[in-house]
Amino acid sequence: MNWIDETLADFGRRLGLAHLDCGAHGVAQLALAGGGLIAIEPVTRGDAEEVLVYVGRRAGHDAPRLLRQALIKAHHGQAGSLPVQVAMRGQGPDAMLLALLRLPAREFTPQRLDRAFDHLNRWLDALA
């Protein structure tokens, strides 16, 4: 078991889950109350190993406004020290705004994961 697996397992235990891993699809994803989600996905981009950490929130019919605000906030000139990438998933009442951080795999620790989720949640809260 590598440190990514250990970090995921630790995160799951803190949430009361006996076993959390990336499974057959390579993504650990949890549904949240209210229809949101959190996910962790190890990826390789070129020679770099990264872990994608993302939070999704229901946007519903307010999706165009929220996406516009998110894109402005994520623009490189306003991104800050932790650049957030954004995407929209779904349509109409099922639309979900995703906010994502790319972490170098070597920096993926329980503390870094907690800070990433906290940062993404505060980032999304600021859009409302």
- List average pLDDT for each run of 10 residues in the chain, which is 128 residues long: 76 76 75 86 90 93 92 76 89 92 91 92 88
pLDDT value of residue 66: 92
Alpha helices in the chain (DSSP H): 3-14, 63-74, 110-125
pLDDT value of residue 97: 95
pTM, two decimal places = 0.85
Phi first, then psi: give them for residue 51, nearest 5 degrees. Answer: -125, 120
Q: What is the residue range of 61's domain?
A: 3-125
pLDDT value of residue 50: 93
pLDDT value of residue 22: 75
Decide: 32 and 96 in contact? Cβ < 8 Å.
no
pLDDT value of residue 25: 77
CATH number for the domain spanning 8: value is 3.30.1460.10
pLDDT value of residue 1: 46
